[in-house]
Structure 1
């Protein structure tokens, strides 16, 4: 069977290898890099966790990134069509297309609640931006963020936001509309242009805030020591599993984005070094995020393992106490917004490409349709913080018993759908896809191809299978073992 040519899903493709790398890095870099990675590192002792995390990125994340991209380019359609085409070429069952269906469904569900969380970010962009302008025009440009507010008032902002369903839904609508507009504009005129502007801006802002922490605080050396001095006594089975999960899913694996983006890559692009650049750029962002956040956290005695509360409650308190805190707070929340938007674009593109291929809708219609349904689900998630706060969708299931609507969707996709999708990709590419086609797409040869295929066929299924197993049955990592 002759496989379709790259880019046929949307009628166009990436204009260059650089454009694809920026878009793929944008898909991978998201809110998890900014708050989840520092949180996990903070919870698990810093240096040892980070060293293990980097090892997992190299041995597991990178092989899977290459696997998803090559499936997309070889298949040349949406995520479902690409896997179906590769399966047909390999004389395998059409049922393998379920990998693509699982991935774009996971991406679609993640988009629905991810947009709600990104709405929180927009709220803080405007709040910190207004505070910065107020400080500037009042002749106090070096005032702290949220000047004049007590710690209780600053931390209470989140509670006030959650108690306002109209504001939550409105912010969610603004973010979803921006995502839909970019995807509706096409691969070249929308997604690529957004990546070319947003990703360089993101990196510049990230470096600015990192340098600020290094210069203004006295704790940059402590942050470096915390991150890069390994204490292996801090590692336990729980920490290892969390490092593995973060390495796999910070790369946006199994969410449909890389599979779909791969279909737009031209045949003359060497995928192996391209995938390597994507994986290491994403890891570099995680490292910089730690170097950005930890000096500020340590300087005012905050908890580095506070998760989302660290971003929306603790760090604003820190900015309030620091020189030019109003400006840095505005820059900080702006860079988080950019990270969220580039990730949401890839989450929407997967199901949009499928709707275009399956129903022959025009791209704007498909993007609006998919985005509209995701928005409606997100509205329910937003109401889960107020009107529907007592609802527990999977309350009968122990691991979701105490989870509200948004956390249930987050947990179900993160603990079940994403690891299952990554597991199936590893099994399909490692064992069932045509070996000659796979090698041709990777651009690897000899020992390098054998090593890559060994990792995909043997190491990745076992490792991702453990993430799935421990996610479903956390009791398998006993409290005693977890320390």
Structure 2
């Protein structure tokens, strides 16, 4: 299908489908491994409270700004920007900010699917272990903690395993994007996201029965405001921004498929609220398992941010649990669902652009974009083994030691994403015709005035600070 006009575009079948798809795009691996560790390391409850405030006053205004641009333009992210700029009497070159988002999404999905490949491998590992140990036993019975923790380094060291997992995950992502908005992306959202929430809540409730629930609550929700330092506040702002997947034109693209009867202010609130809820619940899912394992005598386990928490500490935790293999398998299936809904959203951004820019069919556009991003992802997968010594941005001091994977991550997270969000706020707050913005945002009265003030003044400044600290420390 060639989407050359607003009437020819595929779209969501309902507001519920739009909300589920947007939640799926926002909820990803960052919610499941980054938030719990960030909260624990940065003041616990004080961090959590400030994080929620940041979601409301930073993340939500930017999220609404992106969705209203897309819904107004009813086109790919750059074309939606051009249409809104033209109706506001502004330069069409404002599409530059949307092009940044398209490029960011292309780069991110290339290495995001590498991490998705790790999840695929762990699903396989736990599936094999479940067949060997049965339903009731702990995971990896008879294996030492060191052997379990060595699974991840072993994966990293194998080019064959890294490439296989990446290719499997990318092929699945391409398949659903190729099927279109209603038959593919919406199907993923309406089936996988409810299943994801059922698994998340079920595993969380089971984890709380391990006896470490009180410790996990204390770890995450003890309010010690003396720990709310400027560094902690900056970490909370950054987590709020990145957990909503802002600055990659994803919400502009998803908003472009929304019908005119959708109240964007209301639905944006639901999306931000659900994303925040997943982050909070994920902490209560992860830490009881880890703390129970430590109480059982396995020693201290890492709760630091990054893959070590999910792919090393948690598998050790599952060993100490009844039904550990089954719970571990269910957990990584749940993580796979979250990763897939995000990767589908990321791939749709550049695919939508190619469809409109070159007039190609969705199938052809998806293959061109998907295979190109997948090829870049192959280099990212090999950067853990065969290409470990390659430093593509060695001439830039802040990226001098970054391998291919880390360079892609660093450029998008530290430059493109915050820059795209800053420009979005400037465009919506200062450039776009107010009557167009007011007609799209679903807000009125004082709420609209507060939102406009946040977009104009607060969000750009805070995002500029995030960008500055990311680049200069």
Would you say same fold, with TM above 0.5? yes
1:223 to 207, 216, 227: 216
Equivalent residue number for residue 181 of structure 1: 175
Q: Does 1:250 align with 2:248?
A: no
Equivalent residue number for residue 386 of structure 2: 387
Aligned counterparts of 2:273 and 2:83: Cα–Cα separation in 1: 30
Q: Does 1:284 align with 2:277?
A: yes
For residues 268 and 26 of structure 1, do their structure 2 counterparts lie closer, same or farther at Cα, with a shift above 3 Å needed?
same
Aligned counterparts of 2:155 and 2:447: Cα–Cα separation in 1: 52
Equivalent residue number for residue 6 of structure 2: 8
User: Within 5 A, what are the aligned runs for 1:166-315?
Assistant: 166-215=160-209, 217-301=210-294, 302-315=301-314
Native 8 Å contact 1:9 1:77 kept in 2: no
Give 1:272 shift: 0.5
3-state SS in 2 of match to 1:300:
helix
User: Within 5 A, what are the aligned runs for 1:341-356?
Assistant: 341-356=340-355
* TM norm structure 1: 0.94
Give 1:229 shift: 1.9
For residues 242 and 6 of structure 1, do their structure 2 counterparts lie closer, same or farther at Cα, with a shift above 3 Å needed?
farther
Give 1:73 shift: 0.5
User: Within 5 A, what are the aligned runs for 1:152-163?
Assistant: 152-163=146-157
Residues 209-236 of structure 1, C-alpha deviation per residue, up to 9 Å, x if partnerless? Answer: 1011111x11111211222221122222
Equivalent residue number for residue 297 of structure 2: none
Aligned counterparts of 1:146 and 1:452: Cα–Cα separation in 2: 51
Deviation larger for 398-407 or 26-35: 398-407
Aligned counterparts of 2:305 and 2:251: Cα–Cα separation in 1: 30
Native 8 Å contact 1:257 1:346 kept in 2: yes
Aligned counterparts of 1:220 and 1:19: Cα–Cα separation in 2: 34
Equivalent residue number for residue 141 of structure 2: 147
Native 8 Å contact 1:7 1:263 kept in 2: no
Deviation larger for 159-168 or 348-357: 159-168
Deviation larger for 188-197 or 305-314: 305-314
Equivalent residue number for residue 479 of structure 1: none
Aligned counterparts of 2:16 and 2:413: Cα–Cα separation in 1: 29
Aligned counterparts of 2:302 and 2:381: Cα–Cα separation in 1: 27
User: Within 5 A, what are the aligned runs for 1:8-157?
Assistant: 8=6, 11-136=9-134, 141-157=135-151
Give 1:445 shift: 1.5
For residues 357 and 327 of structure 1, do their structure 2 counterparts lie closer, same or farther at Cα, with a shift above 3 Å needed?
same
For residues 449 and 94 of structure 1, do their structure 2 counterparts lie closer, same or farther at Cα, with a shift above 3 Å needed?
same
Give 1:7 shift: 8.0
Give 1:306 shift: 4.5
Aligned counterparts of 1:238 and 1:393: Cα–Cα separation in 2: 30
Residues 144-178 of structure 1, C-alpha deviation per residue, up to 9 Å, x if partnerless? Answer: 11222211111111121112112211111111110
* TM norm structure 2: 0.96
Give 1:249 shift: 1.5
User: Within 5 A, what are the aligned runs for 1:393-404?
Assistant: 393-404=392-403
Q: Which runs of 5+ in 1 are unaligned?
A: 475-483
For residues 372 and 6 of structure 1, do their structure 2 counterparts lie closer, same or farther at Cα, with a shift above 3 Å needed?
closer
Equivalent residue number for residue 165 of structure 1: 159
Aligned residues: 465
For residues 9 and 50 of structure 1, do their structure 2 counterparts lie closer, same or farther at Cα, with a shift above 3 Å needed?
farther
Equivalent residue number for residue 298 of structure 2: none
Residues 11-70 of structure 1, C-alpha deviation per residue, up to 9 Å, x if partnerless? Answer: 211010000000000000000000011121121121111111000000011111110000
Extract structure 1 runs of 4+ deviating beyond 4 A: none
Native 8 Å contact 1:30 1:339 kept in 2: yes
Native 8 Å contact 1:6 1:265 kept in 2: no
For residues 315 and 429 of structure 1, do their structure 2 counterparts lie closer, same or farther at Cα, with a shift above 3 Å needed?
same
3-state SS in 2 of match to 1:390:
coil
Residues 272-313 of structure 1, C-alpha deviation per residue, up to 9 Å, x if partnerless? Answer: 100000000000000000110111122223232242111111
Aligned counterparts of 1:69 and 1:104: Cα–Cα separation in 2: 15
Native 8 Å contact 1:6 1:263 kept in 2: no
Native 8 Å contact 2:38 2:305 kept in 1: no
